[in-house]
Structure 1
Amino acid sequence: MTETKIKEESSNEGVATEMAQKKTDGLLKKLVEITAKVERIPKNGWNDRQKYHYALESDIKDVVRKEMSERGLVLVPSELNRVVSVINTKSGGQQQIVSLEIEYTIYDAETGEKITFRGYGDGQDSGDKAVYKAKTGALKYALTNLFMIPTGDDPEAAGGKPLQPKYIEQGKIDYLEKLVNKVANLSNAQPSNVVIELKKNLNTALAFEKFETPLFEDAARILTDWVKQFEAQLNQAPRFTPGSDMSNQQNNTSWGNL
């Protein structure tokens, strides 16, 4: 009985240790994964006055929201402090300046863990948008600091306007299609199925015409790797010799062998 009890206690301690380790690794590990994922946010904003590109708050939020939701994370804001002042403009009007301090809490729905951090934002407007601008700035400040996202200045800066995305040129589109066809020939697959697998790996539904340079580079790398892997498999397959039985020498190359 004593030996059995010791084994049960040892087993329970092992389970508890494993659960504690999972809980400890859960939220922090997910935040690290997101930090690695959001490193390529395009700077689609342009500050006309100071002449520089910056990442729009909407671009950052869209990418981060997707990565967080896939990992069961939710962000909850709580306003801690608000300072409102009114200034007179040179034209004789008035503008409202709002300064906000907001505490954000990220909850992990799987482990119950949470982490809190703060963001600060200022908004200036002659109408009713000062609070909105301050909240926008605070959220961008918080997310860019938490996930170490390099970016420009406040997205509400004067003269800011979105830029058109820079899609890849036709030559690069042709290059991707050439690689797709080569993979299809080597793997006995339809080109459309190769494209489907490629987009799954890229986590995108965009057509090649909508690819920007970073996405093109990732796609070319994946397709090139597939070509090398299928060619290696074919080189290892037995060669057909005249008079031999073709049924015993089928091409075994498949997506499952990648």
Structure 2
Amino acid sequence: MQKIAKKLVQVMQECSYIQKTGTNDFHHYRYATSADVLEKINMALVKQKLCSVVLPEILQQADVTTAKGNIEHMATVKIDIMLIDAESGESVSFSGIGTGQDSGDKAVMKAQTAAIKYAYLLSMAISTGDDPEADTKTDQMTSIPVKDKQQIQSVQTICCECGIKLTTGVRNVSLNKYGRPLCMKCQKKLQGVA
């Protein structure tokens, strides 16, 4: 692992900062685009002769109701990224999780884009000059009364193995225990209980 580690240090050095060139006009903020992140990472990886292989897995898909009463699709995707050194054959893997929401057919693609972008940003210690935890809107949500939170979180989740609808409790237990939404029957299969 010494050879790939040395190359990764070079990648990290070349990609230590990515400027925010994207603008969200609706919410009035700037962000580092996925295209900017991937372009910078790709150039550094190629220079070091490191190959990147991304494998996505859909963890959750659900329909959600927006504040305006519209139904949108929401997806959560886990991606595994393997970097392979073309010269030594050594490899290293890391993962990322992203969620995307769309009224059409792009929820999964948005989730994958977020997962890949943040997997690289976090794994390569890339700064964009912002803090994802500095989210006052989310902080304000934590002070909403419980009955209103339940209405906001009325998400129908399906089992990623068999596709049946899950209750919020079953979904939460499964996500905590297995990292993906599974019904009780599929959870028991994983435990070896038929």
Scaled by the length of structure 1, the TM-score of the pair is: 0.47
AA of the residue aligned to 1:28:
A
**In 1: Cα distance, 2:79 partner to 2:95 partner:** 6
Residue 81 of structure 1: CA displacement?
4.2
1:76-127 Cα deviation digits (max 9, x unpaired): 1122442000012344431000001111111111101010110110000000
Checking the alignment, whether the CA contact within 8 Å between 2:58 and 2:75 is kept in structure 1 is no
2:35 to 54, 58, 63: 58
- Residues 54, 91 of structure 1: CA spacing in aligned structure 2 closer, same or farther, 3 A cutoff? closer
Give the structure with the larger strand fraction: 2
Match of residue 135 from structure 1: 112
AA of the residue aligned to 1:143:
Y
**In 1: Cα distance, 2:103 partner to 2:57 partner:** 24
1:86 to 56, 59, 63: 63
SS at match of 2:16: helix
Q: Does 1:71 align with 2:59?
A: no
Q: Does 1:104 align with 2:104?
A: no
Match of residue 197 from structure 1: none
Q: How many pairs are equivalent? A: 131
AA of the residue aligned to 1:100:
V
**In 2: Cα distance, 1:132 partner to 1:153 partner:** 24
Match of residue 150 from structure 1: 127
1:217-253 Cα deviation digits (max 9, x unpaired): xxxxxxxxxxxxxxxxxxxxxxxxxxxxxxxxxxxxx
Structure 1, unaligned stretches of length 5 or more?
A: 1-23, 155-258
Query: Identity percentage over the alignment?
Result: 34
Structure 2, unaligned stretches of length 5 or more?
A: 133-194
Q: Does 1:44 align with 2:41?
A: no
Alpha-carbon RMSD: 1.9
Scaled by the length of structure 2, the TM-score of the pair is: 0.62
Residue 51 of structure 1: CA displacement?
3.8
**In 2: Cα distance, 1:116 partner to 1:125 partner:** 29
Checking the alignment, whether the CA contact within 8 Å between 1:54 and 1:153 is kept in structure 2 is no
**In 2: Cα distance, 1:77 partner to 1:32 partner:** 20
**In 2: Cα distance, 1:52 partner to 1:113 partner:** 40
AA of the residue aligned to 2:95:
R
- Residues 153, 56 of structure 1: CA spacing in aligned structure 2 closer, same or farther, 3 A cutoff? farther
1:122-175 Cα deviation digits (max 9, x unpaired): 000000111110010000111001111112478xxxxxxxxxxxxxxxxxxxxx
AA of the residue aligned to 1:45:
G
